[in-house]
Amino acid sequence: MVLFALAAFTACESASSEPREPIDVGTLAQEYEQSKVAVRSKYDGKEIIVRGYADAACMHTLSGDQGFVKLKERDRKFAHPVTCWFSREQAGEFTKVKGDQYLTVEGVFTGEAGADLKFCKLIKIE
């Protein structure tokens, strides 16, 4: 019994330490448009990494305790763009973002009101 518990713990630990692959913003937005229920069951409450272009028209550094940037594909618009919400603590990093830069962000997915990422962290600007 102890060996089984140890094996299960080791398997869970190695699975959670695997690097996560970034999701293209177009893929996430398209999945959301096809089935909100399916994308929510797949990602809600999970920390995911998303890559896409910053929409210059939809960037707000801070309004109260948080700011946001909408992510898009370069040449394609979606009815439900991915919105990346960040805290006051992350504002310094996000003020470096200019419109149409390619970003990699990490956040917790919540699909209740749209394809949103909460508690975003800026990983990379290209």
Would 2 be classed as within a structural domain?
A: no
Give residue 63's pLDDT.
59
**Strands 102-110 and 116-125, how do they pair?**
antiparallel
Would 115 be classed as within a structural domain?
A: yes
pLDDT of 2 over the 60 cut: no
Please count the structural domains in the chain: 1
pLDDT of 123 over the 90 cut: yes
Phi, psi of 30, deg, nearest 5: -65, -45
Would 79 be classed as within a structural domain?
A: yes
CATH code for position 111: 2.40.50.140
Long-range contacts of 36-42 (CB under 8 A, 24+ apart): 36/111, 39/111, 39/115, 40/111, 40/112
- Placement of tokens 């939809």 in the chain: 58
Would 11 be classed as within a structural domain?
A: no
Contact between 29 and 37 (Cβ < 8 Å):
no
Would 45 be classed as within a structural domain?
A: yes
**Which residue range forms the structural domain that includes residue 70?**
21-125
Query: How many Cα atoms within 13 Å fall on the side-chain side of residue 17?
Result: 6
- Residue 102 bridge partners (DSSP): 53
pLDDT of 69 over the 80 cut: yes
Would 93 be classed as within a structural domain?
A: yes
Give residue 71's pLDDT.
93
Would 102 be classed as within a structural domain?
A: yes
Question: The pTM is what?
Answer: 0.79
Would 28 be classed as within a structural domain?
A: yes
